[in-house]
Amino acid sequence: MRKRIKQFVQAWRACITPTDRTFFGEYLTGHEQNLFDGMSVQDQFHCRRVANDILRLAEGRADVDCRFLVRCALLHDVGRRWGDVSTWDKTIAVLLNYFMPGQSRAWAREGQGSRLDNLRHALHVCFYHPQRGVALLREIGTEDELLRIVGSHHQEAEQEDPVALQLLRQADDLN
């Protein structure tokens, strides 16, 4: 629960600096940058923190491509689109999933409208943003390996998972 409170505070205090923008431009293609820019500032800030941590986790490892890892970190939540879910609805969805994971998945529905519809949509985005991100990234020609990692980052870990996916999960869990 402490982690969720930390995330909530970070979301409300999130900001993207010109230095962050330069960092994003060093790693993302123009099309990827456009998708990244379509996320909320809070999600961009989260992805920047994940990128920082993935670089730290990969430090000194010869078996990983740090450039690829940063792209994975920056794009892993690209299925969360700006304006799609309010910070408040996202917060409630995360708490519902924390306390009632089975019911939350059953309540998830795509589509906005009433207050309840918006909350159900927030749950849908919470559970299905990896698949939404894969669809968006596939449209711009992103390589299959990155698509697999983005699409799998919330799935249960398996022994044969690629190192990049393992590191992304670790970095995401830290944030």
* 150: containing domain: 2-82+130-173
Q: Quick one: angle between helices 41-58 and 18-27, nearest 10?
A: 60
DSSP assignments along 43-101, one per residue: HHHHHHHHHHHHHHHHTT-SSS-HHHHHHHHHHTTTTS-TTTS-HHHHHHHHHHHHH-H
Domain annotation covers residue 162: yes
pLDDT given for residue 32 in this prediction:
98
Domains contained in the chain, number: 1
Residues 11-66 have pLDDT tens digits of 667 789 999 999 999 999 999 999 999 999 989 999 999 999 999 999 999 999 99
pTM: 0.89
What angle is formed at CA 59 by the lines to CA 146 and CA 21, rounded to 5 degrees?
60
Percent of the chain with pLDDT over 70: 93
Q: Which of 53 and 175 is assigned the larger pLDDT?
A: 53
Domain annotation covers residue 125: no
From the list 147, 168, 134, the residue with the least C-alpha distance to 58 is: 168
pLDDT given for residue 91 in this prediction:
85
Residue with tokens 């920047």: 48
Domain annotation covers residue 40: yes
Domain annotation covers residue 103: no
